[in-house]
Structure 1
């Protein structure tokens, strides 16, 4: 059996660990630049606030119902996530888990034949709730896809499953769940494919099992066949093990559009330096760096422009100085005066381990001089806080555009070192 542990309303739950007075009150957390709602408490959901709601459209509703609105505290969420994952993993043998996202963890219970899984899952949940004050739900089933469905059932029926655990361990339970589940809620069925399914009379997950395999292969390919087997309780998806990233991107949509070249250049340089930090964290160097910039596609009256290209580095590098230099040279080539820019980003790719760098015979290698300095900066920032030591081209400004961070949280960041998660936000 597999299990999926999912943190309930995770970002909101993290906010409540900072301020317990938020319990029972409507709370929402906003995305980068405080643009859209990315997490809602159950009380906010009851008010009709949808996921992804543009914050400016709901200001009156927020004010009328005393909804507490917060900028996303990504450092805190990363930290809490790692605490949850470490605590849950302590109940399992080595490598019997998969970190699926910042708030989801698959658990492998094969070999737990003589355990009472419901009692064991309750023990995991209670430990996380007691020590971290973070509510979770656990769905248990024979396959990962059915685990997703079991977890969905727990969250949807909290009164029926007050302990937050549901075990889908019989054919009858699986059939009942698939009969009730809308096809669009099946893991792996996106919006477009869901609409296509409805056009072909597939409204519930159980309807998909009635379709012939030839039709499944034609509409969904081999992934569809695997999904069908997963829904039937035949495991097709193994747990994925963590591996180094094959590319790293740092990009942002800006809270206010940027019209000055100097300010945009500073953002590009900062993003390149953050990419270099992430490379060093996984002991990699990159061979390629890419930069892009673009205007606001929703403000066509201001003029539209977007551009970007890549450079192959003469030598693989993880030096903040080197990557910032090349990012700036790309920026100089693609920048156009007279536009207001809304989004920009830097990506590094084509990685090699830092102990396997092959140096060009015709290019001087300066990484050997830079890396001791970079490691010293990384060590100091790890001890005293992010960007405490930085290159001169960085302003040190918040790159996420968060306007509603409290002074207390700013102080919290200064005095706490929060390790960065090894996975991206979903």
Structure 2
């Protein structure tokens, strides 16, 4: 059996750990630049606030119902996520972190333990130690765990935060209730095709012949069907090193000053370098792009990107910073209002398996001890406490709705480096 531990309205729950007065009140968390709603409390959902909608369109509703709005506090969310993950992992031998607020636990071998009671203990410990409410779905497969977890969240008053699909009767009842678009792995477009063929519930999909499923979804569809039947197809995965790393941001305000844009782009390059060192790899390609606001038809539009292949693979912030600056100089044009920019690095090689160009000077090994020391100090004292001179030290996310409680929290806590990407 597997168990899926899923944090309830995770970003909102993190906000409530800072300010308990937010309990039972409508709360929303906004994305980068305070643009869109990325997390909602149950009270906010009941007001009809959709997910991923532009916040400015709901200003009147927020004001009318006293909806509390907060800028995303990515450092806090990461710290709370790692706390929840560490607590849950302590109960099992094997696990898989699926996202910042979800992880699978392998309960195989717990033959003489009541899994329901065991997961209640996990849920209670997470609440006591991290103050984060979670829902836990237990089932024979990962896909059915998703179904069980959805049932817990849809009917919170009927369960104690834990639901187990452990009999064919329970599985059949759940699949007859679950809409086809809510099946893990079926997106909006595929759901439309399914409904055109009379598949409205997950149970309807199981009634289709395998040849039809293969035609519509390929081999992945066959695996999904087996998972829904309780036949395990998906094992727990360990995270693999990224094949490319990108740091891209939309600016809070459009930038017209060249040095302002340059500073942001060089900072993005520094963050790419840090992530390369974290997974002990070096990159051979660096790409820089800039673009204006495509929604502002009253302003001239411009976008451009440029890639350079490095003579020697590197993860040095200094070397990558030089390349980023060179590419930026080549693509930047005066007279435009820039809204977005980014740096992408790819074509990775292991740090200890670099092939050196004999005709180029290799300074990577000279810089590596300094880079490692800088990373260690930032891990101990906080992000960007030690940085290159070209970096301003300001966060790359536009956030104007940070609470005083959070400012006080940051002063008294050194938070670990983020394990997850935020956009």
- How much does 1:398 deviate? 1.9
* Bigger shift: residues 400-409 or 27-36: 400-409
Confirm or deny that 1:20 pairs with 2:20: yes
Cα distance in 2 between the residues matched to 1:170 and 1:421: 39
| Structure 2 counterpart of 1:326 | 323
* Bigger shift: residues 267-276 or 406-415: 406-415
Alignment of 1:231-310 (within 5 A): 231-310=228-307
* Bigger shift: residues 214-223 or 373-382: 373-382
Alignment of 1:13-412 (within 5 A): 13-93=13-93, 96-161=94-159, 163-412=160-409
Cα contact 1:276–1:323 (8 A) shared by 2: yes
Cα distance in 1 between the residues matched to 2:421 and 2:97: 11
Superposed CA RMSD in Å reads 1.4
- How much does 1:207 deviate? 1.1
- How much does 1:425 deviate? 4.9
Deviations 1:370-415 (A, max 9, x none): 2222222222222222112211111222210011112442343244
Cα distance in 2 between the residues matched to 1:407 and 1:179: 48
Cα contact 1:14–1:134 (8 A) shared by 2: yes
| Structure 2 counterpart of 1:11 | 11
Cα distance in 2 between the residues matched to 1:220 and 1:201: 16
Cα contact 2:78–2:419 (8 A) shared by 1: no
Gaps of 5+ in 2: none
Cα contact 1:101–1:424 (8 A) shared by 2: no
Cα contact 1:385–1:413 (8 A) shared by 2: no
Q: TM-score under structure 1 normalisation?
A: 0.96
- How much does 1:205 deviate? 0.8
- How much does 1:70 deviate? 0.5
Cα distance in 2 between the residues matched to 1:209 and 1:158: 27
Cα distance in 1 between the residues matched to 2:214 and 2:262: 48
Q: CA 1:238–1:117 in structure 2 vs 1: closer, same or farther (change >3 Å)?
A: same
Cα distance in 2 between the residues matched to 1:251 and 1:297: 16
- How much does 1:17 deviate? 0.6
Deviations 1:15-72 (A, max 9, x none): 1111111111111100000001111111111111111121101111111111111000
Deviations 1:165-194 (A, max 9, x none): 000011111111111111110100111111
Question: SS in structure 2 opposite 1:397?
Answer: coil
Question: SS in structure 1 opposite 2:62?
Answer: helix
Cα distance in 2 between the residues matched to 1:91 and 1:235: 22
Aligned residues: 423
Question: SS in structure 2 opposite 1:302?
Answer: coil
